[in-house]
Structure formats: C-alpha cells, structure tokens
Amino acid sequence: MYGLGILKGLGVTIRHFFNSYIEDLRGAGAKLLGDETVFRRRQSLDSIGIFTVQYPDEKLAVPERFRFVPFLVTEDADHPERPGHDWCTSCGICAKVCPPQCIWIVRGEDPVTKRPIPEPEAFFIDIDICMNCGYCAEFCPFDAIKMDHNYELASYDRTGRHIYDLPKLRKPLSYWKTIAPTTAAEEAEARGGWDHPDVIKEKKKQADAAAKAAAAKPAPAPVAEVKTTAVAPGNVAAVSEKAADISAEQAATARAAETVAAQAEAVAPAVDEEAAKAERLRKREEALARKRAKDQGGG
C-alpha cells in the first residue's frame, strides 16, 4: 500500500515526542531538587524519547575521562608537611611533548645559591592554542599536570584571560580526586601512596637507612648454644647402630683398663721383693766392711 512507510515514520516521531514528556515528567521532581543524576539517566541507553538540555541553565555531567585544558596539581592546603606545594618539578617534559608548543616554563632557583630547584618559578599555558590532547598529563613523570573538566572558558579578552599562569593553573590534589576518583586512585596505587613521588622515594630511603642501622647494631651475647642435629626418619636405624658400636668400644676400653690395673697389681709385690733384696745386700756389705775394719784395727 502506498504511503505506509510515511505513516510508520510519523508513528516513530509521535512515539518519541510523547516519550520525551513521559521521561521529563518522571524526572521533574529530581530536576527541581537539583539532583544531577537525572541527566545521567537521560543520557543512558535506557532512556526513551528526545532529550534536550537547557544549557547553560542545565549542564550534563562529563565522564571521568573527559579532558579539557590542563591544570597543575598542588598539595592540599591542610597537608601536614608541604601545604599548597607544587607537584611540578619544572622538568620541562610536558613543554617538550606538547604538539602545538603552548607551554612555557621558568625553572625556579635558590635565592641564595642561584642553583636550580625542582619547582616552577613561572608556568604558562596558552589555552587558545592547547588542543586538549592530554599528552602533557600522559608524559609527566610526577603526576603533576592533569586534564581539567572545566570547559566554560570563553571570554572576550584573549591576552588577559587565555594565557593561564601559575595562580590560574594551580588546583589541589583533592580537586583531582573529586573529578577523577578512579584514575586518581589508580595513580596513587602505582606511585605507592597519595604523596608526591619524590616524597614517597625519600620516605622509603629513610626507612631503608633505619632498617640498615638497626641491622648493623651488635647482637646481644648468645645464650648457651645447644647444637642439635635433625635426623631423618630413614637414618634412625643407622644412628642406633653407630651408638651401639660406640658403647661396645667404650666397654672394651674399660675392660682393657681393668686388665692393666690387675697386671700392675701382680707386678707390684715382685718389685717390692727386689727392693728388699737390694736393701739386705747393702746392709750385709756394710756389716762386712765394719768387720774388716775391726779386724785390721785389732791385729
């Protein structure tokens, strides 16, 4: 039938038209209360009808991976050790990799020694040239530069408002945690904590040094050491045999000692007899000598 396709098409349009009002009426209460989840639901695939946002009165939430011009991460104002401190070490990598070359960095220097220090003295990004590629954030080795979600940057003053300097670029770490909680948590896990990578490295170095110092201290004198030897179950018989051998050897040694003692006892009277015989001979010789002397004196 001619015109059936046209009627079908009009039917689809009319269905979407009425579905839009049904969805709007469903979310009207939440909208009035300022609940932004209503926009997320309208953006989802479950939503029906035509969906129009009354921008700028109504704004859609951007996804976590959304990226607009970069910002520089700083410590939170209530950080215990370095409140408000820049995470940027002014290494210059982001400026090198930026395809349209819209980043300028002036490295900080020590006011006394005039030596370079790892923090930026000045940092500029021309947001009209930035093409939101995210290379700077991708390549920064210190997680110090991140892509922002704020896209309302239009103004009539290009030179005064579109060259972002340090005060405009700085945002605390807590802000990054708010706009990209999943990515921030993944980065912290990869770094080994929520601190700046250099701070984490320094803390690890100190902990290692303390552990080394503790290990280098002289150990207390050991209490009497008892040497024990574990015997495998299969070797028990061998050990018992060895012990029996040792006992037999000891017994044989004891018997030999007894024999020697007995022999010594047997030899002892013979020795005594010899000594007595020698004594008798000596006395006899003395008596004969006295007799001879007497005979000579009497004659």
The contact set with ligand SF4 (CB under 6 A) reads 70, 88-94, 98-100, 102-103, 105, 125, 130-136, 140, 142, 144-145
Listed in sequence order, the residues at least 6 apart from 174 whose beta carbon sits closer than 8 Å to its beta carbon are 76
Closest approach of ligand SF4 to the CB of residue 139, in Å = 6
**What distance in Å separates the CA atoms of residue 124 and residue 104, rounded to the nearest whole number?**
5
Task: Name the one residue in this structure whose structure tokens are 């008892």.
Answer: 226
Comparing CB distances to ligand SF4, the nearer of 94 and 173 is 94
CB atoms within 10 A of CB 97: 15
Task: Name the one residue in this structure whose structure tokens are 């007595």.
Answer: 276
Cis peptide, bond prior to residue 56, ω within 30 of zero: yes
Q: With contact defined as beta carbons under 8 Å apart, do 120 and 229 qualify?
A: no
Closest approach of ligand SF4 to the CB of residue 104, in Å = 11
Q: With contact defined as beta carbons under 8 Å apart, do 55 and 82 qualify?
A: no
- Residue 82, amino acid: R
Closest approach of ligand SF4 to the CB of residue 102, in Å = 5
Closest approach of ligand SF4 to the CB of residue 226, in Å = 60
Comparing CB distances to ligand SF4, the nearer of 41 and 168 is 168
Closest approach of ligand SF4 to the CB of residue 198, in Å = 10
Comparing CB distances to ligand SF4, the nearer of 38 and 105 is 105
Comparing CB distances to ligand SF4, the nearer of 8 and 115 is 115
Strands 116-126 and 170-172: unpaired
**For the purposes of burial, counting CB atoms within 10 Å of the CB of 32, is it exposed (0-12), middle (13-18) or buried (19 or more)?**
exposed
Closest approach of ligand SF4 to the CB of residue 136, in Å = 3
Comparing CB distances to ligand SF4, the nearer of 135 and 194 is 135
Comparing CB distances to ligand SF4, the nearer of 51 and 139 is 139
